[in-house]
Amino acid sequence: MRQVILGRIGEIALKGLNRGNFEKNLARNIKESIKQYGNAKVVWSQSRFFIEPEDCDNYNYDEVVSRLTCIFGLVSVSLAYELESDFEAIKDNALRLVKKKMDEFAAGGKTKVTFKVETRRGLKTFPMKSPEISAEIGGEMLEAFSDLSVDVNNPDFILFVEVRENSYVYTDIIPGQGGMPIGSNGKACLLLSGGIDSPVAGHMIAKRGVKICAVHFHSYPYTSERAKEKVVELAELLTRYCGSIKLMVVPYTDVQLAIHENCRDELGTVIMRRSMMRIAEVLARKNGCSALITGESVGQVASQTMAAMYCTDNAANLPIFRPLIGMDKVEVIDRARAIGTFETSILPYEDCCTVFTPKHPKTKPSLDEVLAEESRYDFKALEAVAIENTEIIRVGNAEV
């Protein structure tokens, strides 16, 4: 008997001919993300991944389970006992697990506990069928624990028994991220501000298997060094899900000042957003990205009306992914909390958009008037200098 970690896949299992590639990709990402915890084999068969540590006695299972809940492609994980497929072995280890569960409930002040047994039998040569195994194991548990009873509809916990080549018993299924393994769907460039929205947007696209790099526009000294550190910190928080992130910090002050000085205030924001898209596109293409990602949602601010986004889109020749487009702020905040970026996002450092925000930005700019206004100055030359002086920060050291 030893402990292993089971990982379940979701959408990958629906893939046809390509399925093997997705699985290999996921295995690589799993290995990379847990290598710091010691050697472990990662193998898979029939929609299941098995993480088998070399040194079971000294393996930090809890940490690794928690780490795996951040890996895109895994729908859920369980810490399980792996044993030979033999009824006595299954029963003994089930007893051990249920005892642990009863102790946990008792520690929380609950003594009367309900459960049920769910069995899956993949090994057709095993002498008992699934319902029979459930009934027998259930009976043994009831005999051993007088405070335990069965509730098949709404049990306090479920004892899972899986009989395959080896057998597995476990009680907890911990939800993972779902999605597709990073690297299985190309690469995109996230416009990462210091706010709440863009980290969530990056997480959502990365979840679809897209490798992320990030661009941040920094307007020193209008935005502080600390504001930049905050963005690095947000990128770091994302690496838990996305693997390493190449963060490109664009010195944006001169462009922003030029917009401020040469363009009508009410069009300043939309012209700035177009300029950001142009710069982001160049950096994205240099890095093999096929799309840009922003944290915009319809109507959130003046630059996120449909008319304004039409003007913004027109400046870029790459698709712009806006995964938050139909979300309310509260929904975005919930997600930011769930992925652990919220607390950092609300730290009070100005981002470059707020410094130059006009009092009355036009909510329905027409592309013609924006293009006319933009032509009053050679922004592209300044943008080229900004691109040239972009600082590269490598965040995270995973090879994923």
C-beta of 201: minimal distance to ligand ATP in Å? 6
340 close to 177: Cβ distance less than 8 angstroms: no
Write down the least CB distance from residue 281 to ligand ATP, Å.
13
Tokens, residue 38: 């010691």
Separation in Å, CA 119 to CA 163, 172, 263: 8, 14, 69
Q: How far apart are CA 294 and CA 312, in angstroms?
A: 11
Q: Choose the binding region for Mg ion from 14-22, 114-122, 132-140, 187-195 (rule: CB under 5 A).
A: 187-195
Answer for which of 134, 193, 244, 345 binds Mg ion (CB under 5 A) is: 193
Closer of 82 and 351 to Mg ion (Cβ): 351
* Residue 203 in tokens: 């997480």
Least distance (Å) between residue 366 CB and ligand ATP: 20
Helix axis angle for 379-388 and 253-262, nearest 10°, is 170
**In the chain, how long is the greatest CA-to-CA distance?**
85
Helices and strands counted in the chain (H then E): 14, 15
Under the criterion CB under 6 A, does residue 204 sit at the interface with ligand ATP? Answer: no
Q: Any contact of residue 301 with ligand ATP (CB under 6 A)?
A: yes
Distance CA 353, CA 270 (A): 11
The residue range among 89-97, 123-131, 157-165, 195-203 that interacts with ligand ATP, by the rule CB under 6 A, is: 195-203
Strand-by-strand arrangement of the 245-251 sheet = 320-321, 292-293, 187-191, 211-218, 245-251, 391-395
> CB of residue 195 vs ligand ATP: minimum separation in angstroms?
2
Tally of CB atoms within 10 A around 15? 15
Q: Does 295 bind ligand ATP (CB under 6 A)?
A: yes
In whole angstroms, the minimum distance from the beta carbon of 184 to ligand ATP comes to 23
Which x/- pattern, by CB under 5 A, does the window 326-355 give for Mg ion? Answer: -------------------------x----
Instruction: Choose, by CB under 5 A, the member of 138, 195, 199, 243 that binds Mg ion.
Output: 195
Among 192, 248, 311, 386, interactor with ligand ATP by CB under 6 A: 192
The minimum distance between CB 335 and ligand ATP, in angstroms, equals: 12
Tell the residue number behind the tokens 């710069």, with chain if given: 279
